[in-house]
Each structure stands twice: as structure tokens, then as C-alpha cells.
Amino acid sequence: MEKLGKKFQRELIKSPAKSALLGLVCLVALWYWAPILCGWLTGAPDTPPDIRVVKPTVPGTTDSGLVADAKKVVSSICDWRTLTKWMDDDPATGPAVLPEDQRDPFGRPRASVSEKLIQQIQDEIDGELTVEPKTTGGDEPDISDLKLVLSGTIFGTRFRSATINGSSYQEGDVVRIPVGTDSEATDAATGKAIELELVEVQPSHVVLKRGGKKHLLQLELGGLAFGDRIVRRVTAEKINASTVNE
């Protein structure tokens, strides 16, 4: 202790400015920490006894009313049925209504093209006719009598094809219906097969041309409806083959 006291005296004499600043800091620390340490040691409250804390009250409300309102808020927040009803009633959470001319990307494809669109396409085809139909020995067969089935189309910027009666054709190919089929597809004049040129492929239809006359063939959309079942039939040969492999 004597050595520490002598060293402290030497520091005070050596730098009086630093010593004065250190003494000021010690006084401030003593002024700040003295009441706190006194309260901790004696167990007295931090706030002086003469200061009273008054709770603000809202006119017309009591403690029981506040408790009742709090219970209502908690019950309304915890009730999931109420939240579900709010979501159903909120227009922002409902599905967006698409315009009539815009296709729903998540909806099922329509079973057939609308009558208005068919008539519009047929009118455009009739307006583009510039070649007079060739006269033949018999009447020109109707497209419905040929029993042509359009089961699929590939519509792209560079490549377009269609599947007609199980065969694939590109734009410009000739669809030939041989003699002897179930359809009445034989030319009455020559007795040869009916030939139609595939002139246009669209996503929902194709346009066939014969003798200067264009015919519209719609895409037959097939698919599973709600409640349909897929039944896979296993033949006896497959069963025997699987048994041998085992």
C-alpha cells in the first residue's frame, strides 16, 4: 500500500492535468452509482416514495369492460372459421375473372370449337377462294362423308403437322383415302381414291383442299372426365413372360 500511495503521488505531480480529469470522472461515477448501490444494499425501491404513477383511463370504460373486450379480441383471432369467412368475403383473395376472349391456362380444354369461331373460319375460307371447282362426273363428296378424324396437331413457327386417321401429315402433303374403306371416299367419275391437300394447320383445326374447294376439319378433343377410370388389360403372354423372368 505504501508503494502504491507513493506511486500515485508521483503520477499526480508528474501530470496534474490528467490527474484533475481523472478526479472529475471519479466524482461523476460516484454521483451516478451511489444511489443505485444504496438502493441495492438497503432494498429501497428505485422510484421516490412521493412520486405516484397514475394510469390513464378512457371515459366510459372500466377494468371489467377492458377484460371483456380483450376476451372478445382473443376469441375472434383464435377462431379459424371466422378467418376463413373473412378470406372468402375478401375480393382480393378470390380468383381473378378472365375476359371471355382469353383462354384459362389452368382450365380444361373445350370439347369443341365454338359455333361462332367455326362460322368465322368458314367465312374466311370461302372469301379466299379464287379457283373455280373442277367439274367431275359425279357430285363432290361432303367432308363429313369421308369419316376423317383429326386427333392431334403440332403448331409451331417452322413446323406444323396434323394427325388424320392415325397418320401424320405436314402442310402441303396430300391426304389420300384408299378405295375400299368404310367411308364413301371413292371418286364417282374415276373410281379412284379421294385425295385432299393439307393447306393449313391450326391448333384447333386444319384446312383441306380438293378441286379448288376448302374444307374445315375440327380437332376432336378426347380425355378423361371426372369419375373416369383407366383399366389396363394384361394378356396371358405377358403374364407367362413375367413368370419365366422371375
35 and 85 assigned to the same domain: no
Is residue 175 in some structural domain? yes
Between the alpha carbon of residue 227 and those of residues 16, 224, 233, the distances in Å are 99, 8, 19
Ranges assigned E (strand) in the chain? 150-155, 160-164, 167-170, 174-177, 194-201, 205-210, 213-218
Pair 12, 80 in one domain: no
Burial readout 138-171 (b: 16 or more C-beta within 10 A, e: otherwise): eebbebeebebebeebeeeeeebbbbbeeeebee
Q: What is the pTM of this model?
A: 0.36
Q: Are residues 172 and 122 in the same domain?
A: yes
Which tens digits make up the pLDDT trace of 50-86? Answer: 555 555 555 554 555 555 665 565 555 667 888 888 8
- 202 and 150 in a common domain: yes
Residues 166 and 207 in one domain: yes
pLDDT for 131 = 42
Domain that holds residue 18: 2-42
Selection from 164, 160, 161, 162 nearest residue 149 by Cα: 164
Mark whether 84 and 14 lie in a shared domain. no
The total number of structural domains that make up the chain: 3
Q: Is the pLDDT reported for residue 202 higher than 80?
A: yes
Q: Are residues 186 and 122 in the same domain?
A: yes
Residue 227 lies in a domain: no
Does one domain contain both 121 and 192?
A: yes
pLDDT digits 0-9 by tens, 137-175: 445 566 667 788 888 888 888 888 999 888 899 988 998
Q: What's the pLDDT at 190?
A: 57
The fraction of the chain above a pLDDT of 70, given in percent, is 55
